[in-house]
Chains A and B, each alone.
Chain A
């Protein structure tokens, strides 16, 4: 026993320090830029970040969730360098805590809502589309992002309220944790119909686009972005400027977003 045991001990003695070093080294990498962004920006931002990382030589870490989640995380932990929200209310909550670098906030993008359906969903959602069509109970669940915590859900509720159908539809709403999850629920067949961002709807080959919300009833959807205080503010501002630049905008446009306002370039 002693021979085997001592060999084993020798192995452990050699392996343990290496493990500890890997543990410590892996976790204390040079500081990256922490970008907290709405889940609906995911695909586009990953592309933009890849370009930025190559050119600026800065590692960017994306935290993609519902904007309400992100605002809560930012307020609780104060580790984010940049906040790119899908809603004004969430940005205001962060700004009210004094965490936004003054003057750095700008509305970068706009988006629209879209009604989507699974390919095998009932045909009652024929064109021309009217919001009342959603009231047909045979459709089943309607997937939207959670209106209480996610801007996409808030916009959807706003639209449905203005159209006068929210109160009757509410019981059939299936809330999702963020905008992309509302799309995923329709893609997977968990819900036959959903109200999501037009940009997300365009990205999916697995859902049928029923209607893009426009006109007077359409909610105003803006994505404010800001550098946050507490970290390396210069790097954060540089990244926000890159997001507002022509190349980033081209990527966002390709993903179905429109640049916001005329005040920037």
Chain B
């Protein structure tokens, strides 16, 4: 069985990385909107975007499965994204679960930026975009990196939604967390324990990075 550890590690890192890329930009953008703009329906957007934090992952997985099934609404509309039981499905499920964490952490990071500095920049004739790029983003940088790292960490360990949308196919969708479950069900306890150790090391690394980012000098928090 140990032949399946390296593929699973590689799938885990690839899926988590791709999921972070997929949900990183929209997550940070939403965090900015929630921190700096007011618009009608803001509370609804806040609540909806946080849902995957609270909904069971199996519920999110089920909804994605129905949505992307060939006989689901997208399939019926002639849109076949061909994501079920593929690495793309694993990325999609992980991104959906990681998105709210990225958005919420990014929001806090933006809220930690002193609004006076932005107002001053505006009064110096900076455009809104220039204020964002030259003032807000650099000041929120560490918090935003932490947001993305947290999203990556969440994606690393995703299980429920991924299992439903992408299954557990070795070398394609079988991440470490799915492999642990598989080994457990096959009665390979020693193998499962080794995998738990490996995932603990990964998780430690990610959390350590997040803590360092958040604690470093000049943190926007």
Contacts and interface: CB of A to CB of B under 8 A. Distances in A.
A61 B171 contact: yes
Given A22-B14, A27-B14, A27-B87, A76 B65 contact: yes
Contact of A181 (B17, B69, B86, B185): B185
Contacts of B168: 63, 65
A227 B137 CA distance: 55
A77 B64 CA distance: 13
A184 interface: yes
A178 B167 CA distance: 14
A147 to B, nearest CB: 17
Contact of B85 (A26, A79, A187): A79
B50 interface: no
A31 to B, nearest CB: 11
A63 B167 contact: yes
Interface in A141-200: 176-178, 180-181, 183-184, 187-188
B84 A76 contact: yes
Given A26-B14, A61-B169, A61-B171, A77 B70 contact: yes
For A22, A26, A27, A76, which residue has the most chain B Cβ atoms within 10 angstroms?
A76
Nearest to B83: A77
Interface string B16-28: 0110000000000
Contacts of B10: 26
Contact of A61 (B65, B70, B172, B187): B172
Given A61-B170, A61-B171, A76-B69, A180 B186 contact: yes
B143 to A, nearest CB: 18
Interface residues of B, number: 22
Contact of A62 (B17, B18, B70, B170): B170
Interface in B53-73: 65, 69-70
B114 interface: no
Given A26-B10, A78-B70, A73 B187 contact: no
For B14, B69, B86, B186, which residue has the most chain A Cβ atoms within 10 angstroms?
B186
Main secondary structure of the interface of B (DSSP, over half): loop
A255 to B, nearest CB: 14
A204 interface: yes
B117 interface: no
Interface in A53-82: 61-63, 65, 73, 76-79
A181 B186 CA distance: 6
B214 to A, nearest CB: 19
A37 to B, nearest CB: 12
B170 A79 contact: no
A19 interface: yes
A73 B167 contact: yes
B159 to A, nearest CB: 13
B184 interface: yes
Interface string A31-52: 0001000010010000000000
Nearest to B80: A78
Contacts of A137: none
A181 B188 CA distance: 10
A176 to B, nearest CB: 7
A180 B169 contact: no
A190 to B, nearest CB: 10
Contacts of A181: 185-186
A23 interface: yes
Nearest to A177: B185
A184 B181 CA distance: 12
Nearest to B169: A63
A152 to B, nearest CB: 13
A23 B172 CA distance: 12
Contacts of B69: 76-77
Contacts of A180: 185-187
A79 B86 contact: yes
8 contacts: A26-B14, A34-B169, A63-B168, A77-B70, A77-B84, A79-B86, A184-B184, A188-B187
Interface of A: 19, 22-23, 26-27, 34, 39, 42, 61-63, 65, 73, 76-79, 176-178, 180-181, 183-184, 187-188, 204, 206
Given A77-B70, A180-B185, 9 more contacts: A19-B17, A63-B168, A73-B167, A76-B84, A77-B84, A77-B86, A184-B184, A188-B189, A204-B187
The 6 closest A-B pairs by CB, nearest first: A184-B187, A77-B84, A181-B185, A77-B85, A187-B187, A63-B169
